[in-house]
Amino acid sequence: MECFEKCKNEFINYLQVEKNAAVLTIEHYVKDLTSFFSFLERQGIHYLQDVTYQTMRVFLTELYQKQLSPRSISRQVSSIRSFYRYLEREGIVETNPVHHVTIPKAGQPVPNFFYEQELEKLFAVSDLNTPLGQRNQALLELMYATGIRVSECVGLTIPELDFDMETILVSGKGKKERYIPFGQFAHTAVKAYMNDGRPKLLKKGNHETNRLFLNAKGTPLSPRGVRYVLNQMVKDAAMTENIHPHKLRHTFATHMLNNGADLRAVQELLGHENLSSTQIYTHVTKSRLRNIYMDNHPRANHRKQP
- In sequence order, the 6+-apart residues with CB closer than 8 A to the CB of 283 are 110, 111
Residues 6+ apart with CB under 8 A from 282: 257, 263
Q: In 3D, which of 164, 163, 180 has the Cα closest to residue 172?
A: 180
User: Which DSSP helix (H) or strand (E) runs through 201?
Assistant: helix 198-202
Amino acid sitting at position 134: Q
Catalytic residues: 149, 173, 246, 249, 272, 281
Distances (CA, A) of 182 to 58, 175, 252: 51, 21, 11
Rounded Cα distance between 191 and 168, Å, is 13
Q: At what angle do helices 70-89 and 2-17 cross, to 10 degrees?
A: 90
Work out whether the CA dihedral 222, 227, 228, 229 comes out positive or negative. positive
End-to-end alpha-carbon separation of the chain, Å? 77
CA 229 – CA 150 distance, rounded (Å): 12
